[in-house]
Structure 1
Amino acid sequence: MLRLLHTADWQIGKSFGQFDPDEAALLAQARIDAIGKLAAVANEHQVDVVLVAGDVFDAQTVADKTIHRVFNAMQAFAGHWVLIPGNHDAALAESVWSRAERLGAVSDNVTLCLTPEALSLDALKLTLLPAPLTQRHTYQDLTAWFDHAESPAEHYRVGLAHGSVQGVLDDSIDSANPLAPERAASARLDYLALGDWHGVKEINPRCWYSGTPEPDRFRSNDAGHALLISIAAPQAIPEVTVLDTGSYRWHQQHYELRVDSDLAALEQWLASLNDHDVVALSLEGTLDLALHHRLERVLNQTQGRVRSLHAEMHQLRVAPSEEDLAQLAAEGYVGEVIDELKNEQHGEQGEAARDALILLADMLGQQRGDKEAQR
């Protein structure tokens, strides 16, 4: 029985520039922490080798201390790690990998496959066939040599590659770094471990993407996992188990708000979130002043509870009700300004008009409160 842990796309050093600095720092740290989780899983399931199918680093320019942190985190599993470069950390003449070697960061139980050469692990009766990227983009299938690679008859044959399986992934995926969908069969592989797609995806029973161990985007593609691969004997069909490794849950939600029940549904969903949630919320519709103030309160409360919340509200309008206007005593010129701002919300400056309307309403409400207090 051969047990492998298949992971990829760690993207260490990802900056998360769209987030506030404190949020970005925590999301980046979660990617380092994911290595410790992978090590714990490897220990728990007593795997023989951890396979990392590319994009360990997000860029060639990560800091030296980041390189050390990655390899130090891997030492929580004393077994064998095998890594290949992907498109983000390709094995250029001068790369993050050559820097890691110069720094002495790579420990004895870690093998960097920087060239397309078979790696024989005789103690495990395992031959690994790597297809490392030596430049960011290629337009030929780097796994083609697997078909003719030799290995002892009693050995397991396992491939590692990083790229896009042709004709299988979403049409929007870049056509660079193509991989043949039938490679596992043509190369007589027991298993082909793939990286590049950030979610778990089965190509066929012998070929899978593991996805990234820590979600890093809002796309819903089953990220935050690693794959435990159990192969009973050479040429046996692998048993693949999906294991949870992610810390943060990323949500992209859209709500249309018009009446009290719409806002209540949003409030109920937001109440279910905690500090493991990263949220992108888009809102549209029309609310009166009371409901808009209620919305602002719940968003502020949620921001203090979740890891990150960004609410896109440029399609949301404010329409003071007759009761709102009566309470504000908005007559004459002020009433005309309110009507004008209500109409301008549908133009190019709609967001600014909405904010101005809310500000004006707040000022009028404050003035009314002050007058009542003086009576």
Structure 2
Amino acid sequence: MLRIFVTGDNHIGLKYANYEKSSLLADSRTEAFRGMIEYANNEKCDLFVITGDLFHDVSKIPKKNIKLILDILSDFSGHVIILPGNHDFYDKDADLWRVFNESAKSRDNVILLTDYRPYEIEAGGDAVILYPALCTSKHSAVDENNLGWIKDEGIIPDSNYRIGIAHGAVEGETIDKEGKYFLMTRSELEDISVDVWLIGHTHVPFPRGLSEEYTAANERIFNAGTHQQTDVNNNTQGICFIVEISKDKKIRAKKFISGKIRFYRREIALTAGEMEEILIRELADIGDNNVVDIILSGAVTLDEYEDRRRIIEGVLSRFIEASYDDYALNKLISK
């Protein structure tokens, strides 16, 4: 049996420039990996696979951030497999990868996939062959991807575990109207005889509906999405997948909720005389350690309207960051 922890689109180095607590939000993306590594070790995973965009870019990531994530990844008990994505595309002369490669020399469990070739490793006494469709640029030529060399391999299924790892848009799952994000079709992926495909680029996970308990999977294409929600427009909890392949190549999978900070947007209709109570009630299900944006509508009393800033900011003060739009909020006119 082969058990794989799958994550991607982690965007270490994302700045959060529009937030007051930008450092906290940025650092939390790295700190979430501690829980991921602990969980993967407890689950006795053989591989920890990152399907691209571990880093947000190739030139502006501080050395200390690169070394810190490597320190955390090196605590995994098995192989850590890293695929360059379109944000952290592979260029051996890029600042990111020069620092990474130098720092990774002392971490013998970390494998960076830099070539279009099969990588054969051993996991639990079994041979595992990795087929990487890595990115060497931020964008692709229109409707092109990096699967060609894998198709040419003419893979014949056997007792070895054969794992495809790719970064790019998947037709039907990802918006890529111009076809510049290494667009792949499902049929194209399914026609290649690997045991599973581990995909990155789409921040929302698919297949949808995986629970926190193992279930048999009819699917061979797994995109875990981002491990922690990037912003309010990224509609995910922040999860990872654990994909298990049996000796007879049956697949089970489950999800692990890895995100520590969520971003919420709520539209709240207010009623005169109940402004504060409604705000408290409508946000009661959201924990303090989150980011909230609210859009207000309705009509409130004149006193509430004139005091609205104090009321709103008082209710929102418990969150890490909060913002509001009261453009559609009106004051009740008494006759």
Establish whether TM, by shorter chain, passes 0.5: yes
Deviations 1:107-130 (A, max 9, x none): 110000012111111443211101
The aligned amino acid for 1:119 is Y
**Aligned-pair distance for 1:300?**
2.2
**What's the counterpart of residue 331 of structure 1?**
none
1:106–1:303 distance in 2 versus 1, CA, 3 Å = farther
Q: TM-score, normalised by structure 2?
A: 0.87
* Long gaps (5+) in structure 2: 209-217
**Aligned-pair distance for 1:320?**
5.3
Query: Is this contact kept in 2: 1:184–1:190, CA < 8 A?
Result: no
SS at match of 1:242: strand
Deviations 1:259-297 (A, max 9, x none): 345764332022333322211111233333222256434
Matches within 5 A, 1:95-174: 95=94, 96-104=96-104, 107-122=107-122, 123-139=125-141, 140-149=144-153, 150=155, 153-170=158-175
SS at match of 2:207: strand
1:64 correspondence with 2:68: no
SS at match of 2:299: strand
Deviations 1:9-53 (A, max 9, x none): 110010011211xx2111111111111111111111000001100
Percent identity over the alignment? 24
Query: Is this contact kept in 1: 2:276–2:311, CA < 8 A?
Result: no
1:24 correspondence with 2:25: no
* Long gaps (5+) in structure 1: 323-375
Structure with higher helix content:
1
C-alpha separation in 1, matches of 2:15 and 2:294 = 21
Deviations 1:103-151 (A, max 9, x none): 4566110000012111111443211101110000113121232223257
C-alpha separation in 1, matches of 2:178 and 2:296 = 29
Q: Which moves more between the two structures, 203-212 or 30-39?
A: 203-212
**What's the counterpart of residue 79 of structure 2?**
80
SS at match of 1:29: helix
**Aligned-pair distance for 1:210?**
0.3
C-alpha separation in 2, matches of 1:42 and 1:103 = 23
C-alpha separation in 2, matches of 1:19 and 1:4 = 35
Matches within 5 A, 1:1-375: 1-20=1-20, 23-60=21-58, 61-95=60-94, 96-104=96-104, 107-122=107-122, 123-139=125-141, 140-149=144-153, 150=155, 153-170=158-175, 175-202=180-207, 205-219=219-233, 221-233=235-247, 236-260=249-273, 264-292=277-305, 295-319=308-332, 321=334
1:174–1:246 distance in 2 versus 1, CA, 3 Å = farther
C-alpha separation in 1, matches of 2:30 and 2:90 = 21
Query: Is this contact kept in 2: 1:148–1:187, CA < 8 A?
Result: no
- Of structures 1 and 2, the larger Rg is shown by 1
Q: Kindly tell me the number of residue pairs found equivalent between the two proteins.
A: 319
Q: Which moves more between the two structures, 292-301 or 249-258?
A: 292-301
1:230–1:173 distance in 2 versus 1, CA, 3 Å = farther
Across the aligned residues of Structure 1 and Structure 2, the Cα RMSD in angstroms comes to 2.3
